Amino acid sequence: MRIVSYNRIYESLQSSSFPENSYVESILKVAPDLFPGYHCVRFSPKVESEYGNHEPDLVLVDHRYREWIVVEAELEHHSLTSHVEPQVRCFAYGRYDESHVQAIARGLPEVDAGRLRILIANLQPRVMVIVPQMKDRWKSVLSNYNAILTIFEIFEDTAGNRLFRVNGDVLRNLDEEIIGIAKRIPSLRNGLELVGIQLSEETMEIPLMLDDQLTRWRVVRSSQHLMLFPTGRCPLPDHSLESYTVRKSSDEIWRLVLDEH
């Protein structure tokens, strides 16, 4: 795969062309955008478990200390059965103590060590595996440990400039708030009616994330209603009675989430 942008061609880098540590460094450089709402830092103390002992690569800590995630960066040519799965099993069932609190605190001077200590003592971490290419069998096996499988692919042009493509399981910002409702309109197959949201008169189009895909919607006003229509093909499934919550993250991204109530 390649990406073409403004007279530049970015080619996908094969994992055999860079060491794992370089891959981790690339992740760290874009961590604030890749993991909104989380601190991200190198994390390599030994984790002990009944399944053996291993060292992870990174750790994510929610800004409000609601969860933490142990991260293992892998290259796709690594063995699932002899390398990846044993580490994930170890981290999922690992024993974490004060040494792990101190390892995080050393890398994150701004962290509240007291709140971090309570978090680690009371909540087992989730495990995330980051890999450059999608591995279908990895996903099915790692789901046994409730692990997150994120695809982080590196593209590079001839001058060494890089772009990154993210796919797979993507962390959502836990700081999202519900700001309104988007209701399907039975008489208009592609339309959504916005309820509880005020838009300025100058707003003619809004972007909305839907299932981690960016969609764009044209704003149509009437005397009593504020409606949205997709600018292209309707991305919604063909069901007339669905409704969605509209959620806004701390970084001002709006998202449509199917209302399951």
What confidence tens digit (pLDDT) does each residue in 132-152 have? 988 888 999 999 999 999 999
Mean pLDDT within 88-109: 95
Residue with tokens 């208009």: 188
pTM: 0.77
Two structure tokens written together for 156: 């590079």
pLDDT exceeds 70 at position 240: no
Residue 126 has pLDDT above 80, yes or no: yes
List pLDDT tens digits, range 14-73. Answer: 877 777 888 999 999 999 989 988 999 999 999 999 999 999 999 999 999 999 999 999
Dump pLDDT digits (tens) for 183-225: 987 777 788 999 999 898 899 999 999 987 889 999 999 888 8
Rounded CA separation 55/45 (Å)? 6
Sequence letter at residue 114: G
Instruction: Report helix, strand or coil for 106.
Output: helix
Q: What is the pLDDT of residue 260?
A: 67
d(CA 112, CA 20): 30
Which tokens sit at 244?
Answer: 């969605």
Check residue 250 and give its pLDDT: 74
Instruction: Considering only residues 172 and 134, tell me which one the structure prediction assigns the higher pLDDT.
Output: 134
